[in-house]
Structure 1
């Protein structure tokens, strides 16, 4: 895991921010996501930027509440795909809640929100803990000069959760389906 503390590192289209696992890390990580997207040319109040900030909040909240240790927020831009990762020191992978959603509960909706706002998401163990990630697809023209990432999701980069695997398979079928006409 990178060892920088509370200091963004920018190189081309990737940033890393290390944070202590405290409640303030959620706000600081969310602000870092918004500031980075703004510096890359994405309007902070547009849907993709708002979705990225929401996903960052959910992944960071889970890391602070359940994992501890130093946290690292990574943003990566690959064509029209925005990859958001949160690294922590716990090897325990998150799991979706089983059963009906308790609408009165104060927690339990985070991964449901991540699923709703991302193209794909998942988690995997690393040598120092785990990485929870989400991929957002940016609308055409959202970032000036960003090329489309042709075949991006075909590249094995992460281990996808079962829901993510199903989503990727469905996306592949849609891409291969003949155009109606």
Structure 2
């Protein structure tokens, strides 16, 4: 899957301080990129995608800021896929597979529920040094 994400023709990278304002900045940047790429903000996937993105950035700000003063958001798209990731330098990798089957009310449980309801995928990739991770979400358009 990772090579497929790298092949998506539209791509934007945003690095932000791990602070509450990052949530709004990441969301506004996503909206701007989607419009530039010809993906209308009224597309049925966009609203849930922006909520998923907001939850992921919020989690990085809340839980990783002490070890990760910055976070990076990567946005990517093609005619048939929308993908994004949130990267921080905190080593903890949440158990996405367990969250996918949970009925919890945590932000990540919501992320997993929305992702799978849209027939998307969620993957966590650890940094090679073990000191950070990226959570990748891919959604069909």
Question: TM-score range with shorter-chain normalisation?
Answer: 0.7 to 0.9
Residue matched to 1:77:
77
RMSD over aligned CA atoms reads 2.1
| Alignment of 1:137 onto 2:140 | yes
Q: Deviations over 1:90-113 (max 9, x none)?
A: 111023399763xxxxxx432222
Task: Quote the offset at 1:26 in angstroms.
Answer: 0.7
Counterpart residue number, 2:93: 93
The 1:38/1:100 distance shift into structure 2, 3 A limit, reads closer
> Unaligned regions of 5+ residues in structure 1, if any?
1-11, 102-107, 139-181
Larger Rg: 1
Query: What is aligned with 2:6?
Result: none
In structure 2, runs of 5+ residues without a counterpart are 1-8
Q: Distance in 1 between matches of 2:12 and 2:29?
A: 9
Q: Higher relative contact order by CA 8 Å / sep ≥ 6: 1 or 2?
A: 2
Q: Give the structure 2 partner of residue 175 of structure 1.
A: none
The 8 Å contact of residues 114 and 134 in structure 1, kept in 2 or not, is answered as: no
- How many Å apart are 1:14 and its aligned residue? 0.3
Relative to its length, the structure with more strand (as a share) is 2
TM-score (norm 1): 0.61
- How far apart are residue 20 of structure 1 and its match? 0.3
Determine which structure has the larger helix proportion and give its number.
2
Aligned to 2:14: 17
Of residues 24, 27, 38, the one that matches 1:27 is 24
Aligned length, in residue pairs: 121
Structure 1 runs of 4+ off > 6 angstroms?
none
The separation in 1 between residues aligned to 2:84 and 2:53, in whole angstroms, is 7
